[in-house]
């Protein structure tokens, strides 16, 4: 019987061929912009965030601008992202810490990133992988959570526990891309409702495929 790690390697190789340009859908041109975008993306679509950020980054041009922002004003600017009060508070406070403790630069370690308000491991992993090409873990969002369960890679429901399961079986050289590969596949084929299993390139490696193939 093949090991879970061997099966994961096959899955990754197939998805790499299917999605060779897999990367975060959040548009950004700096680690700080990605950090803000990722905070905004919590329980919000990347598409919606990408509509908000062009105007947002024109109004607030630097970390210091965000640190000085009035919360009521920032709330209005990001209202359509949902949970705007908490997000505005976290963005402002994170910006203050970055300005005061990190010389205006987004830190590039997991230990430092998770000290910032609004930043848990998922956000930190996205920033580290996309902005610094560092792999200290695997970001677990709704797509990764769903596909990890369907693919039999984790039986956990808590994102941190899912991440630990994945880190045990996904070779570290694939950590940088693993989230983006599963996100791309989750959007293109393995949707929450009505996944297109008959046309899925990894259906032969998926223990859940038979549950969804009806014809």
**Which active-site residues does the annotation give?**
122, 141
3-state secondary structure 12-80: HHHHHHHCCCCCCCCCCCCHHHHHHHHHHCCCCCHHHHHHHHHHHHHHCCCHHHHHHCCHHHHHHHHHH
Q: Rounded to 10 degrees, what is the CA torsion of 43, 48, 51, 53?
A: 10
**From CA 208, how far away is CA 71, in angstroms rounded?**
46
């Amino acid at each position: 019987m093949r090991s879970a790690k061997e099966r994961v390697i096959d899955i990754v190789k197939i998805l790499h061929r299917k999605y060779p340009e897999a990367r975060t859908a959040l548009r950004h041109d700096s680690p700080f912009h990605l950090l803000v975008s990722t905070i905004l993306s919590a329980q919000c679509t990347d598409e919606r965030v990408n509509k908000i950020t062009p105007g947002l980054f024109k109004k607030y041009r630097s970390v210091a601008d965000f640190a000085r922002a009035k919360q009521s004003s920032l709330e209005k600017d990001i209202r359509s992202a949902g949970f705007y009060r908490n997000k505005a508070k976290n963005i402002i406070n994170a910006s203050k810490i970055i300005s005061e403790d990190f010389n205006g630069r987004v830190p590039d370690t997991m230990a430092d990133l998770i000290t910032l308000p609004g930043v848990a491991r998922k956000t930190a992993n996205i920033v580290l992988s996309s902005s610094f090409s560092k792999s200290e873990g695997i970001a677990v969002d709704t797509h990764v959570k769903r596909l990890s369960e369907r693919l039999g890679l984790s039986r956990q429901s808590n994102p941190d526990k899912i991440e630990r399961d994945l880190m045990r079986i996904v070779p570290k050289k694939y950590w940088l891309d693993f989230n983006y590969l599963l996100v791309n596949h989750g959007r293109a084929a393995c949707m929450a409702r009505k996944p297109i299993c008959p046309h899925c390139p990894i259906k032969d490696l998926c223990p859940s495929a038979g549950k969804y193939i009806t014809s």
